[in-house]
Amino acid sequence: MLAVTSHGPQDVRVEEVDKPKLQESTDAIVRVTTTALCGTDMHIYHGKIPNVPAGWIVGHEFCGVIEDIGDSITEFEIGDRVVSSMYVACGRCPACVSGDHRRCAKFQMFGMGVAFGNLPGGQAEYVRVPLADMTLRGIPDGLSDESTIFTGDILATAFTALRQSGIVEGDTIAIVGAGPVGQLIAMCAPIFGAGQTYVIDVVPERLEEAARLGAIPINPKEQNPRKLIKDQTAGLMCDAVFEAAGNVPAMETAFSLPRANGSVVLVGMLVDEPFPLSAGDLWLRNTRVIPILGAPFSHRDELLKLIASGRIDATALITDRLPLSAASAAYAAFDRKELQKAVFQVGEAG
Ligand SMILES: [Zn+2]
Ligand SMILES: [Zn+2]
């Protein structure tokens, strides 16, 4: 089968590899129909994730059709259309029952190498899905792959960030970084009652998209975000700030915007550089710092309902629809920020 594989920094290939087989009775084999390129994949592309062997199959956002199931699978039959969570958890242990699925002893993330659970990814024609009854969700009839694929990661991440921020009706928020996750936070913010919503980015097209979603765009190359928000909020500043870029300038901006007793939600992954925080400033201003990892298991059913009712349409985010064979070029283009969100169309939806 064809798969997208990592061979070290800036070296992503599309190559022929062995098709996966069932290993456990709780596994399913999914024939992938749609898979997406995610900002998290770029950490592998930049060589920032340790223990990613050469030839490793990448990708963790995918939809498909059940091709084969182990004997213990009860939720699905061969031929069912499904969307996957970006990671695997058992759903039964104390950590899972408390909603903290990332601490499950069975945690494995698709496509992120040995350190993240040693589970090959979904940018491929087929993928083995462990604990499939829990990891997969059926795609409701009438909904497309594209409309549901992001419930497994970035849409759940945006939702998790908003929920954990604790915002209430009418709160002022700022989103620093208007990539796919930042846009989805802006898109979902009204569901959580957000009032004035600022979106800060340096890419004009991203700011236009944010404005289309009803947010107030700020380009820090042209305006000082802190000064502008201070003026427009009569000095009250933001109740919650979402850092969704994962770089040092964005972190600096994010920490300049909350009100006293406000919160900064860390959504982006700043994995390669230290960022100094003043414990004294945090204490004096009582800033709550909330790092989050998307929780698809806790939010996917709610998200599927919002998608089915038309309140969320994340397909607007997709800028490029490509065959899997275009993956190497797509990674390079994404790295240059020439595309926002690419999906690979791998096979016919069932
Ligand atoms: Zn992702
Ligand atoms: Zn568990």
CATH 3.40.50.720 boundaries in the chain: 156-291
Please, what are the averages of pLDDT over each run of 10 residues along the chain (350 residues)? 96 97 98 95 92 96 98 97 97 93 94 96 98 97 95 95 96 96 96 97 93 96 97 97 94 96 92 85 94 92 96 93 96 91 85
CA distance 31 to 195: 42
**Neighbouring residues of the ion ligand 2, judged by CB less than 5 Å:** 89-90, 93, 96, 104
CATH 3.90.180.10 boundaries in the chain: 2-153+295-345
CA distance 337 to 334: 5
Q: 39 CA distance to ligand 1 centroid (A)?
A: 6
Q: 101 CA distance to ligand 1 centroid (A)?
A: 16
Nearest bound ligand to the CA of residue 62: 1
CA distance 186 to 349: 30
Q: 152 CA distance to ligand 1 centroid (A)?
A: 8
Q: CATH top-level class for 2-153+295-345?
A: alpha beta
List phi, psi (to 5°) of 311. -75, -25
Q: Quote the pLDDT of residue 309.
A: 95
CA distance 169 to 162: 12
Q: 104 CA distance to ligand 2 centroid (A)?
A: 4
Q: 71 CA distance to ligand 1 centroid (A)?
A: 30
List phi, psi (to 5°) of 151. -65, -20
Nearest bound ligand to the CA of residue 94: 2
Give whole-number Cα distances, 149 to 3, 34, 82, 83, 210, in Å: 18, 8, 9, 6, 21
Give whole-number Cα distances, 196 to 108, 173, 245, 254, 287, in Å: 38, 6, 20, 16, 20
Q: Quote the pLDDT of residue 350.
A: 52
Whether residue 11 contacts residue 56, with contact meaning beta carbons closer than 8 Å, is answered with no
Nearest bound ligand to the CA of residue 157: 1
Residue partners of 309: CB distance under 8 A and separation at least 6? none
Q: Does domain 156-291 have CATH number 3.40.50.9100?
A: no
CA distance 134 to 236: 44
